[in-house]
């Protein structure tokens, strides 16, 4: 295992966020959903929700919009065939917001 951790222990490929962000063209369109990286380049034409919504998220985190739509089980299965790897664990905090909560003591907690 290299120190750079380009793979998870079970062999899943890790992509850095900068690498993913560069895949935002018609030639290559990647999106992130729940920290998984999807290559949707060939799917753009076939997406029932249209190509535009995928293009808008190209190279970025589409988790919220994907979940907002309430995609079907079929859609989720379809999506799983497009997974090419995962966002590198060190970059995950860059696309997610902390959950802020107040404890009974009054202390403010931030969790990721
Ligand atoms: C790999 C990723 C995705 C797959 C495989 C996928 C697949 C599908 C499928 C099969 C449908 C038909 C309805 C259903 O079965 O739920 C659908 C609808 C839709 N999708 Fe996606 N989708 C993906 C990502 C996204 C993303 C990231 C967005 C938003 C940015 C999006 C927006 C929509 C919208 C708005 C519809 C509704 C279309 C309508 O009801 O007229 N999808 N998608």
Average pLDDT over residues 70-84: 97
pLDDT of residue 56: 96
pLDDT of residue 17: 98
> What is the rounded average pLDDT for all residues in the chain?
92
Residue 37 binned pLDDT confidence (cut-offs 50, 70, 90): very high
Question: At which residue do the structure tokens 């090419």 appear?
Answer: 84
Q: Which of 31, 53, 71, 74 to mutate to test the pocket of ligand 1 (most atoms within 8 A of CB)?
A: 71
Q: What is the helix (H) or strand (E) element at residue 79, kind and residue range? A: helix 73-80
Tell how far the Cα of 82 is from the centroid of ligand 1, in angstroms: 14
Give the residue whose CA is nearest to atom 19 of ligand 1.
49
């Amino acid at each position: 295992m290299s120190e750079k951790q380009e793979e998870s222990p079970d062999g899943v490929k890790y992509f850095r966020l900068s690498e993913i962000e560069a895949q935002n063209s018609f030639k290559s369109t990647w999106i992130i959903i729940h920290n998984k990286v999807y290559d949707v380049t060939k799917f753009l034409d076939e997406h029932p929700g249209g190509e535009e919504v995928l293009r808008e998220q190209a190279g970025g985190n589409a988790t919220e919009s994907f979940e907002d739509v309430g995609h079907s089980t079929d859609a989720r299965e379809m999506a799983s065939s497009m997974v090419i790897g995962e966002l590198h664990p060190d970059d995950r905090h860059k696309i997610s917001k902390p959950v802020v909560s107040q404890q009974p003591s009054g202390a403010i907690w931030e969790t990721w």
